[in-house]
Amino acid sequence: MSGRPHAMLEWVAKGTAAFEAEVHGATDPDLAEPSYLPGWSRAHIVAHLARNADALLNLLNWARTGVETPMYTSPDHRASEIEAGARCPAGELRADLVEADGRLAGELAALPDACWETTVRTARGRQVPFREVPWMRVREVWVHAVDLNTGTGFDDVPREVCAALVDDVAAGFRARTGFPPVELRADGGGRTWLLGVPGGADTVVVTGDLPSLAAYATGRPVPGPLYAVGGGNVPKLPAWL
């Protein structure tokens, strides 16, 4: 895979529309209510998504110009910007989100094909070609649409995005120890994923539909039943990110 990731950009657009619809459907008092994320209101999530759009735009400018431009100045600055945004009047916060989304979408559409292979660095220090950056936004808009706690669940997330999310979690857990490895099996003879390092402990096999497996893997509310093969409880996973 190389060059402009057309399918991924479509996922960004659909996820952005879904997230914005949830935000615009919430009343002003609704945005002050708690989200699924501990310590964050819904307004915090909206502010985070706006600033994340600008942070990814920094990486885009890096790819376009070759000038190193980190996502965030510092973790403290990132946190302070989210807090400031969460305290804004709801109308200003909605407008900020739409404007930030629009800036990112416009620049992604205009980015020359040659820039998509430029290496940039994520906030976690990973060096990746810029063509992987849209996936970072897909992950943000769809997972945080669920985190808003306004009615969207993983049943509403496209199945191909659910599968890609479990791919992401499995890749991140590939070398992690300290918990029994878990094999996820999608219902209907679908795909399987291993979370953790095999061999250190008996692998627990967990089955369910794809949205439920994606919710479980990412630590979100699970929309459907999950089963541990052979009986017993479905184990709690470590935090994904």
One domain for residues 143 and 170: no
List, as one string, the DSSP characters of 35-52: -SSTT-BHHHHHHHHHHH
pLDDT of residue 192: 96
Confidence of residue 208 (pLDDT cuts 50, 70, 90): very high
Query: The domain spanning residue 175 has which CATH number?
Result: 3.30.1050.20
pLDDT of residue 158: 97
Cα–Cα separations (whole angstroms), residue 104 to 20, 39, 203: 14, 27, 42
One domain for residues 142 and 99: yes
Within a domain: residue 187? yes
Residue-wise pLDDT tens digits, 1-32: 567 899 999 999 999 999 999 999 999 999 99
Residue-wise pLDDT tens digits, 24-72: 999 999 999 999 999 999 999 999 999 999 999 999 999 999 999 999 9
Confidence of residue 93 (pLDDT cuts 50, 70, 90): very high
What number is the average pLDDT over the span 93-116? 97
One domain for residues 71 and 184: no
One domain for residues 167 and 106: no
What is the tally of structural domains in the chain? 2
One domain for residues 48 and 140: yes
Last residue of a domain, one of 152, 180, 208: 152
* Cα gap 48→240, rounded to integer Å: 18
Is the predicted pLDDT of residue 217 greater than 90, yes or no?
yes
Selection from 117, 121, 105 nearest residue 16 by Cα: 105
Is the predicted pLDDT of residue 232 greater than 70, yes or no?
yes
One domain for residues 38 and 136: yes
One domain for residues 76 and 137: yes
One domain for residues 44 and 73: yes
pLDDT of residue 182: 94
Paired sense of beta strands 119-121 and 127-129, if any: antiparallel
Last residue of a domain, one of 99, 133, 152: 152
Asked if 35 contacts 148 with a C-beta cutoff of 8 angstroms, the reply is yes
Residue-wise pLDDT tens digits, 188-206: 877 999 999 887 678 999 9
One domain for residues 93 and 204: no
Q: Provide the residue range defining the domain that includes 215.
A: 159-228
Is the predicted pLDDT of residue 116 greater than 70, yes or no?
yes
Residue-wise pLDDT tens digits, 148-165: 999 999 999 999 999 999
